[in-house]
Structure 1
């Protein structure tokens, strides 16, 4: 199995749909992305900027969650 290719440019809606376990990562960082009507337009970088979350650290956490879900 290949490693998920999640980057800062990946839309958050696509991440949450493909790997539902990642929703916990968004909620743990108090990000309102799950259920947000504009999540399909926001990249990981956009969401992190809007919620004042360190993008690289958050991205690393998403990659861990997706690897665990595989």
Structure 2
């Protein structure tokens, strides 16, 4: 599944489950969402605010990783 945009309501744990390549994006940006119990509640915006990460840049990186996943 190749999304055209980030779903603003999708929790980061769901994004990582569906598109495993996004885990690398999380790690590169110093986000400790992998395995975090809050990940099932945090959206991308929530996680970016909590980790002081630029949401637009991070979302673009996530989307690129999501689109690169094999079908």
* Aligned-CA RMSD value: 1.3
Q: Name the CA distance, whole Å, in 2 between partners of 1:22 and 1:9.
A: 17
Aligned residues: 69
Q: CA deviation at 1:10?
A: 2.3
Q: CA deviation at 1:6?
A: 1.5
What SS does structure 2 have at the residue aligned with 1:39? helix
| TM-score scaled by length of structure 2 | 0.88
State which drifts further: 7-16 or 55-64: 7-16
Q: How does 1:1-70 map to 2 (within 5 A)?
A: 3-4=2-3, 5-70=5-70
Q: Name the CA distance, whole Å, in 1 between partners of 2:9 and 2:57.
A: 15
| TM-score scaled by length of structure 1 | 0.89
